């Protein structure tokens, strides 16, 4: 993989106590914490099954996420964990550069439909360093997977509208972006409409997230109704 040290996966995970506030009208705080844990474990399970990866680094201070990371053989870093998604990824990139890693693929912890084959295909499309590969969210606003070689090849800034800015950033760094579309990676769960979209999608593998949502759904006639206080 693109030189010594291989490509490492980086997964920033926020503390579950304030997880998924945009779903507060549909799920209780306890349900949102449980949903966050299910999604993170689905992502880690997929990553752990990717033979091309040299390792997994989870950036978090969330105790449940730390336990899950250890279960799947990932390394844990707290550096940048309180600095938001962008700060966490930047801290991880600096660490990987210090350790001589060849590249980094970073994914969020809320894309439970991701599969190992999608990650492998994304890595296979990634060109020799210096290079940049991106998988956009389904709405072409978010950047749901980014591969950079070396890990600090360009500045990354995540948010609700980061996809096209990342393309611009890569071009300013002299890199031609490789754009890959993967349905599982593209489907993040953040807004209420995402819940039903995720459940309607055909899943190539069983996920804890799907099981959880189907168990918590109030009824079939109205898939999601506001959660009771």
Contacts of 114 (CB under 8 A, 6+ apart): 42, 43, 46, 107, 182, 184, 185
Q: Which pTM does this prediction carry? A: 0.93
Asked whether the beta carbons of 64 and 133 are under 8 A apart, the reply is no
**For the segment 26-70, what is each residue's pLDDT rounded down to a tens digit?**
999 999 999 999 999 999 999 999 999 999 999 999 999 999 999
C-alpha to C-alpha distance for 150 and 157, rounded to whole angstroms: 16
C-alpha to C-alpha distance for 31 and 5, rounded to whole angstroms: 39
**For the segment 5-32, what is each residue's pLDDT rounded down to a tens digit?**
799 999 999 999 989 999 999 999 999 9
Domain ranges of the chain: 7-216
Strands 75-77 and 53-59: parallel
Query: What are the tokens at 138?
Result: 């389904």
Reported as a pLDDT band with limits 50, 70 and 90, residue 2 is: very low
CATH of 7-216, one of 3.10.150.10, 3.40.80.10, 3.90.550.10, 3.40.50.1820: 3.90.550.10
- Nearest by Cα to 117 from 205, 207, 210: 205
**For the segment 150-206, what is each residue's pLDDT rounded down to a tens digit?**
999 999 999 989 999 999 999 999 999 999 999 999 999 999 999 989 999 888 889
Q: Percent of the chain having pLDDT more than 90?
A: 87
Return the pLDDT at 63: 98
């Amino acid at each position: 993989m693109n030189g010594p040290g291989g490509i490492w996966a980086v997964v920033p995970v926020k503390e579950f106590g304030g997880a998924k506030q945009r779903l507060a009208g549909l799920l209780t705080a306890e349900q949102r914490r449980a949903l966050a844990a299910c999604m993170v474990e689905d992502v880690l399970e997929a990553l752990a099954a990717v033979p091309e990866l040299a390792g997994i680094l989870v950036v978090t201070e969330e105790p449940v996420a730390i336990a899950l990371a250890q279960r799947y053989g990932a390394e844990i870093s707290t550096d940048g964990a309180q600095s938001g998604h962008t700060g966490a990824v930047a801290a991880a990139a600096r660490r990987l550069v210090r350790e001589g890693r060849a590249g980094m693929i970073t994914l969020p912890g809320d894309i439970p439909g991701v599969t190992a084959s999608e990650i492998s295909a994304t890595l296979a499309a990634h060109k020799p360093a210096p290079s940049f590969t991106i998988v956009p969210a389904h709405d072409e606003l978010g950047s749901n997977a980014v591969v950079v070689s070396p890990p600090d090849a360009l500045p990354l800034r995540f948010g609700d509208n980061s996809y096209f800015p990342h393309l611009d950033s890569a071009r300013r760094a002299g890199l031609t972006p490789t754009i890959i579309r993967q349905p599982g990676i593209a489907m993040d769960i953040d807004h209420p409409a995402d819940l039903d979209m995720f459940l309607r999608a055909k899943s190539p593998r069983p996920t804890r997230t799907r099981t959880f949502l189907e168990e918590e759904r109030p009824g079939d006639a109205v898939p999601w109704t506001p959660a009771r206080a």
